[in-house]
């Protein structure tokens, strides 16, 4: 199976000098230095905590996206899926208050409902791509529109708000810290660790890479391609539901503007991290750095008034391209070959 990912093989042999592996880390360090130079308050404890907490939404979703993309798929529906799950969670919890009170039970019902919806939504995407034989881009473009309009419908065009009575119980999930780190960051760490093991240390992970590099060969190698591919979408759905569970207590609301463009941010985080968009090679560690880079860019732009507000998109675009260029550029490759000699 490892033969199908030769580039991955060569990387693991000399991790210390490989610019491809180090690219995202270098980009993140450079960004942090830039942030510090622009404003020393950038490295204050409060800001670092904010940054990590904020990264966890996109980060958790992007860990799921790493599996989908590694196996040669794509999921455009994650942002809308997060919005509709958040909306349904709020509706369910609000109506559960009457029966189960404002305690932990209601929050657990909400969280359970989120997980079920996430798994289900992911399975639908997976089923339609594999058994339905529709391209993943089209399936998830379709579900993206469906989920987005559903949340608008549930909210009657407005905003769904969590009952104030439950907010007190649920609030700590976003705002409280455990051993110095906010709960969402712990969730991010946990998801990343499980994701890393799953992709790098299990047969399932190797199957994902095999399918991504050559689906036909994987099929002839007796891999149940449809099942593995569907599983990647289910994992993606689960990640979305976990991200939603920590998102809802932040502001206690969901509307049609919730999670807009999260799909593109998640995909960008995955690609910045070194995973190949056409599949076959994936890196969970890189994805985490990618998510941190994306959030840091936004954070730094808020810390300075040197750049016109209207150019925020330009800065983000430039930094994303540079971060990917750091690991893909020819200059990196020639250097590496020289070192190999």
Partner 1 sequence: MKFVKALGALAVIGAMSLSGAAYAQEKIKIGVSYPTPTHAWAAGMNWHAEAAAERLEALYPDIDIILVNSPDPSAQASALEDLVSVNQIDALVILPFESEPLTDPVLNVKKSGAFITVVDRGLSQPGIEDIYVAGNNPELGRVSAEYMKTRLKSGDNIVILRGIPTVIDTERFDAFMAEIEGSGINVLDHKHANWNRDDGFEVMQDFLSRFPDIDAVWAQDDDIAIGVVAALKQAGRDGDGMFVVGGAGMKETIKGIMDGETLIPIDVLYPPAMLATAMDVTVAKFKSNGPVAGRYILGATVITKENAESFYFPDSPF
Q: Which of 298, 329, 332, 336 binds partner 1 (CB under 8 A)?
A: 298
Q: What is the DSSP letter of 308?
A: -
Q: What is the DSSP string of 267-330?
A: HHHHHHTT--TTSS---HHHHHHHHHHHHHHHHHHHT-SSS-GGGHHHHHHHHHHHHHHHHH-H
Residue identified by tokens 């954070």 is 299
Q: Residue 55 interacts with partner 1 (CB under 8 A)?
A: no
| Min dist. Cβ of residue 211 to partner 1 (A) | 35
- Would you put residue 5 in left (φ > 0), alpha (ψ -120 to 50) or beta? beta
* Residue closer to partner 1, measured from CB, 55 or 66: 55
Q: Residue 255 interacts with partner 1 (CB under 8 A)?
A: yes
Q: Residue 299 interacts with partner 1 (CB under 8 A)?
A: yes
Residue identified by tokens 């995955």 is 270
Q: Residue 309 interacts with partner 1 (CB under 8 A)?
A: yes
Closest by CA position to 208, among listed 77, 327, 64: 64
* Residue closer to partner 1, measured from CB, 110 or 259: 259
> Interaction with partner 1 in 89-148: which residues (CB under 8 A)?
none
Q: Which of 124, 139, 155, 326 binds partner 1 (CB under 8 A)?
A: 155
Q: What is the DSSP letter of 180?
A: T
> Interaction with partner 1 in 159-198: which residues (CB under 8 A)?
159, 161, 175
Q: Residue 250 interacts with partner 1 (CB under 8 A)?
A: yes
Closest by CA position to 251, among listed 174, 183, 165, 153: 174
CB 52 within 8 A of CB 181: yes
Q: Which of 1, 19, 30, 50 binds partner 1 (CB under 8 A)?
A: 50
Q: How far apart are CA 268 and CA 55, in angstroms?
A: 13
Angle, in degrees to the nearest 10, between helices 45-70 and 262-272: 80
Per-residue string for binding with partner 1, 14-43, x by CB under 8 A?
-------------------------x-xx-
| Min dist. Cβ of residue 310 to partner 1 (A) | 6
Where along the sequence are the contacts to partner 1 (CB under 8 A)? 39, 41-42, 44, 46-47, 50, 54, 152, 155-159, 161, 175, 250-251, 253, 255-258, 298-299, 301-303, 305, 309-310, 312
């Amino acid at each position: 199976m490892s033969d199908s990912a030769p580039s991955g093989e060569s990387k693991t042999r000399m991790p210390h000098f490989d610019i491809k592996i180090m690219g995202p880390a270098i980009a993140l360090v450079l960004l942090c230095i830039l942030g510090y130079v622009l404003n020393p308050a950038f490295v204050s404890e409060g800001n670092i905590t904010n940054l990590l907490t904020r990264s966890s939404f996109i980060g958790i979703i992007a860990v799921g996206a790493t599996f989908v993309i590694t196996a040669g798929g794509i999921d455009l529906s994650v942002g809308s899926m997060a919005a509709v799950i958040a909306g349904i969670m709020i509706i369910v919890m609000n109506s559960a208050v009457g029966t189960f009170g404002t305690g932990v039970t209601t929050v657990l019902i909400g969280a359970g409902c989120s997980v079920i919806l996430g798994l289900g939504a992911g399975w639908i995407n997976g089923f339609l791509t594999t058994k339905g034989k529709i391209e993943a881009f089209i399936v998830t473009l379709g579900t993206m529109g469906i989920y987005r309009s559903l949340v608008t419908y549930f909210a009657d065009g407005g905003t769904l708000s969590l009952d104030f009575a439950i907010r007190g119980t649920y609030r700590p999930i976003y705002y409280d810290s455990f051993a110095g780190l906010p709960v969402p960051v712990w969730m991010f760490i946990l998801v990343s660790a499980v994701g890393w093991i799953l992709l790098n240390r299990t047969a399932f992970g190797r199957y994902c890479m095999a399918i991504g590099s050559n689906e036909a060969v994987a099929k002839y190698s007796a891999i149940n391609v449809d099942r593995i591919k569907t599983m990647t979408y289910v994992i993606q759905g689960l990640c979305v539901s976990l991200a939603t569970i920590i998102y809802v207590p932040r502001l206690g609301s969901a509307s049609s503007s919730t999670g807009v463009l999260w799909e593109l941010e998640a995909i960008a985080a995955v690609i910045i991290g070194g995973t190949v968009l056409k599949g076959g090679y994936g890196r969970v560690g890189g994805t985490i750095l990618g998510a941190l880079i994306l959030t840091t860019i936004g954070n730094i732009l808020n810390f300075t008034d040197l750049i016109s507000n209207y150019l925020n998109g330009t800065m983000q675009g430039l930094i994303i391209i540079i971060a990917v260029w750091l690991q893909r550029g020819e200059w990196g490759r020639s250097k590496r070959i020289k070192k190999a000699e």
